[in-house]
Amino acid sequence: MPEKVAKIAVSAATYWIDKPYEYRIPEILGDAVQPGMRISVPFSAGNRRSEGIVLAVSDVAEHEKLKNVTAVLDDAPLLTQQQLQLALFMRERFFCTVYEAVRAMLPAGLWFNKAGMRRVNDKTVTVAKLAIPPEEASDVIALLEQRTPARARLLQELLPYGEMPLRELLTFTGSTRATFNCLLSDGYVTVYERAVLALPDQSSGERAELPVLNEEQCAAFQELKHLTENRAFSTALLEGVTGSGKTSVYIRLIDSVLQRGRTAILLVPEIALTPQMLQTFSSYFGEEIAVLHSSLSPRQRVEEWKRLKTGRAHVAIGTRSAVFAPVEDLGVLIIDEEQESTYRSENTPRYDAREIARYRCFKDGCLLVLGSATPDLCTRHDAEKGKIRFLRLTKRYNEMHLPEVTVVDMKQELRDGRDGNISLFLQEEIRKNIDCGEQSILFLNRRGAHKLVTCVECGFVYQCPNCSVPLTYHSVNNRLVCHYCGFSRRLDEACPDCGGIFKFIGAGTQLVEEELHAAFPGTEVLRMDTDMLTGSTTHEMLFEQFRSRNIPIMIGTQMVTKGLNFENVTLVGVLSADQSLYAGDYRASERTFSLITQVIGRSGRGTKPGRAVIQTFTPRNEVIRQSAAQDYEAFYASEILLRGIQKAPPFADLLAVTAVGKEEGGVVRACRTVKSRLSSLLSDGRECEFLGPVPLPVMRINNRYRYRILLRCRLDRHIRRCVADTIIALSTDKQFKGISFYADQDPDY
């Protein structure tokens, strides 16, 4: 038998030494080692134990002296050949190791702890199995019926099936475990543990009728359906105003794909949206649905992953990581609210789910649908240029008008002697809603009570000792908290420097909640931010309270801006429309327009007309006026001109190389070296422009300084290779010891 060799991606290999390593497969392991399985191997000069993923198995070795595979960790391959190719694509595209890509694909519960134990073991059931042929079992039953009828009943029940769960066997026969153990000791039966999957939470009752589509929806659905029938890669943008019924189109499209025996993936930008989306889709597809997101327990995530892997579920719904759902023969992949930055991972591997989606759809020959009321400018530009299909829904599904929007100038509020966070006009509108029994949603994208605390005498400001940001005051527990590293301390009674009086600056959701209680005594207010979420309180529970108890007012952060559908909400208030407008990056205007438009769209989604109030200190700002008019076309036209002047995406690509370390001077020197090296490598006539070194908006987090170099160009494989080589060279350079490097394409900040 020829000797077999496995090519393995080793978990202990850092980015600069990441490559397929060859290991000999001992004859005792035989065919147990297959591509897509995890194995244990000795690695490095010290032969320390390390996990690895098998990329390929062959009969030919490139090297003579090879170490042996020591153990196989999986019973069957976890990844298909196509998923292994995806991991290799991620390594090149997102500057990570192959094993880091594999870890992103698999649920955390499948991994092993430091002791080598699975973090989540499969739920198992003890199965009783006949250990003798059926003919012999019949003879044994005849002998036992006279002496021990209880044992005979056990064998008689087991005979037609060959095996069955032990608990069921004992229940059906009324026998005891002791009686069964007698058969076990005599060798008539045997037992083993079989993994079982928990039943999904989704209702398996009668399914709802598919939604009826209006004329616009039907036209969009028919064209998308036609694209899925071609079994070829294609991309389509479904642009629809808020409340236009994009979800109904998704449902009909997924149903058509399932009817042809294919599978589907639906991505949503926020965990908060998953329960509502899951409830909607489950009413149509029942147990066909599996959900994947980070709020599930490790066991739940593993079980849902296995349902998809084994073909028991055919539709995956979830957040960013659901793009890796292990479905076969993918028919359609839908990204809802595709413009959201949450589809980009901020941890290694720093992948963009939209890029992964394009790759998967290309390989599977299927349709990628990008849905949004405010599409990403790059996506819309591609649609305008005819690179992708462009479909529009211009009217709300119920023929209701978009909300009537009023812009309130907060400077005038100050002139009139009102310094609160809720304008007089908005208070009156909220009161009208309370009197009518209707609900209101207020949006403020800052949690806590105050942005910072300062001394009026000496100007002292509480700063985080670990990060370059002021501490945020939380009035609920009278503490100052850093929202980056988690540092917390109690607020002093007076300024620690001079004993002066404190002034509280900037408003958060806690302060607004207090103002609402003062303005509307006895009126229930629900606050929706991450401070309200605990192990026992989830997004789903809070939203259900708002709906079922008809709570008059909900104040929340970004999680209340998109995808939610409450029919009794007729008023939306945007409390600080300027907050994200001057963030200092090229996407600031786009992000602000999208946020305001999306939150306005939560109003008037039922049979009652909606209205919205935008509070701003810059009412004449073009983005604010376009948001108030909900005029995406005007915004796109003006913003795309500005992007062209800036040479920003989609007219060029931006790639950032970031250096992180404890000593600021060393980090800056490292960035300068990155710039110098890349300038030399790319001096072949390519049009490349370097910006920096510049600090990130939050320069220091957890006592680690962060600087970056921005490369503006048209990215290709050669440039990516040069960037990868530069990161590898500097990571192994002793003068930059303790400094880490990573690269991001089109960073959000």
Based on the domain organization, do 55 and 89 belong to the same domain?
yes
Quick check: 368 and 637 in contact, CB under 8 A? no
Instruction: Answer whether residue 455 is part of any domain.
Output: yes
Q: Could you tell me whether strands 404-409 and 611-616 are parallel, antiparallel, or unpaired per DSSP bridges? A: parallel
Angle subtended by helix axes 588-600 and 632-646, to nearest 10: 170
- Check residue 197 and give its pLDDT: 46
Q: What is the CATH number of the domain that holds 332?
A: 3.40.50.300
Instruction: Answer whether residue 209 is part of any domain.
Output: no
pLDDT in tens, 189-215: 888 876 554 444 544 456 788 999 999
> Where residue 86 falls among pLDDT bands split at 50, 70, 90?
very high
Q: CB within 8 A of 80, min separation 6: which ones?
A: 36, 326, 328
> Where residue 728 falls among pLDDT bands split at 50, 70, 90?
very high
Q: What is the CATH number of the domain that holds 693?
A: 3.30.70.600
117 or 361: which leads in pLDDT: 361
CA distances from 222 to 206, 216, 218, 371 (A): 26, 10, 6, 16
Based on the domain organization, do 417 and 303 belong to the same domain?
no
- Check residue 438 and give its pLDDT: 94
Based on the domain organization, do 10 and 53 belong to the same domain?
yes
Instruction: Answer whether residue 467 is part of any domain.
Output: yes
Amino acid at site 654? L
The CA angle 467-473-478, to the nearest 5 degrees, is 125
Cα–Cα dist 150/86, whole Å: 56
Q: Could you tell me whether strands 569-574 and 439-443 are parallel, antiparallel, or unpaired per DSSP bridges? A: parallel
Picking from 448, 512, 453, 454, the residue whose alpha carbon sits closest to that of residue 483 is 448
- Check residue 94 and give its pLDDT: 93
Helix and strand numbers (H, E) in the chain are: 21, 30
Lateral strand order in the sheet of 611-616: 404-409, 611-616, 569-574, 439-443, 553-556, 525-528
Strand partners, 165: 127
Based on the domain organization, do 285 and 329 belong to the same domain?
yes
Lateral strand order in the sheet of 124-130: 163-165, 124-130, 189-195
Cα–Cα dist 680/155, whole Å: 80
Q: CB within 8 A of 636, min separation 6: which ones?
A: 377, 380
Picking from 591, 447, 416, the residue whose alpha carbon sits closest to that of residue 511 is 447
Picking from 594, 628, 294, the residue whose alpha carbon sits closest to that of residue 445 is 594
Select from 596, 624, 643 the last residue of a domain.
643
Based on the domain organization, do 13 and 23 belong to the same domain?
yes
**Mean pLDDT, range 609-620, rounded to an integer:** 93
Cα–Cα dist 250/221, whole Å: 8
Quick check: 318 and 269 in contact, CB under 8 A? no
- Check residue 486 and give its pLDDT: 85
Give the torsion through C-alpha atoms of 542, 628, 632, 335, to 10 deg.
0
Instruction: Answer whether residue 163 is part of any domain.
Output: yes
Select from 195, 225, 252 the last residue of a domain.
195
- Check residue 117 and give its pLDDT: 52
pLDDT in tens, 687-716: 889 998 999 989 999 999 999 999 999 999
Based on the domain organization, do 350 and 377 belong to the same domain?
yes
How many structural domains compose the chain?
6
Structure tokens at 129: 């199995």
**3-class SS of residue 663:** coil
- Check residue 396 and give its pLDDT: 82
Based on the domain organization, do 514 and 550 belong to the same domain?
yes
Q: What is the CATH number of the domain that holds 84?
A: 3.40.1440.60
Task: Answer yes or no: is pLDDT of 420 > 60.
Answer: yes
Model pTM score: 0.85
Based on the domain organization, do 460 and 444 belong to the same domain?
no
Instruction: Answer whether residue 460 is part of any domain.
Output: yes
- Check residue 145 and give its pLDDT: 82
Instruction: Residue 632: give the domain boundaries.
Output: 404-449+507-643
Select from 615, 643, 671 the last residue of a domain.
643
Based on the domain organization, do 436 and 582 belong to the same domain?
yes
- Check residue 337 and give its pLDDT: 92
Instruction: Answer whether residue 648 is part of any domain.
Output: no
**Highest mean pLDDT pick, 126-130, 163-167, 382-386, 454-458:** 382-386
Q: What is the CATH number of the domain that holds 149?
A: 1.10.10
CA distances from 457 to 463, 494, 509, 545, 710 (A): 17, 11, 27, 45, 41
DSSP track, 222-287:
HHHHHHHHTTS-EEEEEEE-TTS-HHHHHHHHHHHHHHTT-EEEEE-S-TTHHHHHHHHHHHHHGG
Based on the domain organization, do 472 and 381 belong to the same domain?
no
Structure tokens at 650: 């989609």
Instruction: Answer whether residue 118 is part of any domain.
Output: no
Point out the least confidently predicted range of 131-135, 503-507, 714-718: 131-135
Among left, alpha and beta (phi > 0; psi -120 to 50; other), residue 386 is left
Task: Answer yes or no: is pLDDT of 118 > 60.
Answer: no
- Check residue 200 and give its pLDDT: 46
Based on the domain organization, do 546 and 589 belong to the same domain?
yes
- Check residue 112 and give its pLDDT: 65
**3-class SS of residue 505:** strand
DSSP track, 332-358:
EEEEETTT-GGGB-SSSS--BHHHHHH
Lateral strand order in the sheet of 479-481: 472-474, 479-481, 488-490
Instruction: Answer whether residue 115 is part of any domain.
Output: no
> Where residue 289 falls among pLDDT bands split at 50, 70, 90?
very high
Quick check: 11 and 51 in contact, CB under 8 A? yes
pLDDT in tens, 340-399: 988 998 888 999 999 999 999 999 999 999 999 999 999 999 999 999 999 999 888 877
- Check residue 334 and give its pLDDT: 97
Q: CB within 8 A of 703, min separation 6: which ones?
A: 466, 662
Task: Answer yes or no: is pLDDT of 58 > 80.
Answer: yes
Based on the domain organization, do 458 and 445 belong to the same domain?
no
Placement of tokens 């370059």 in the chain: 468
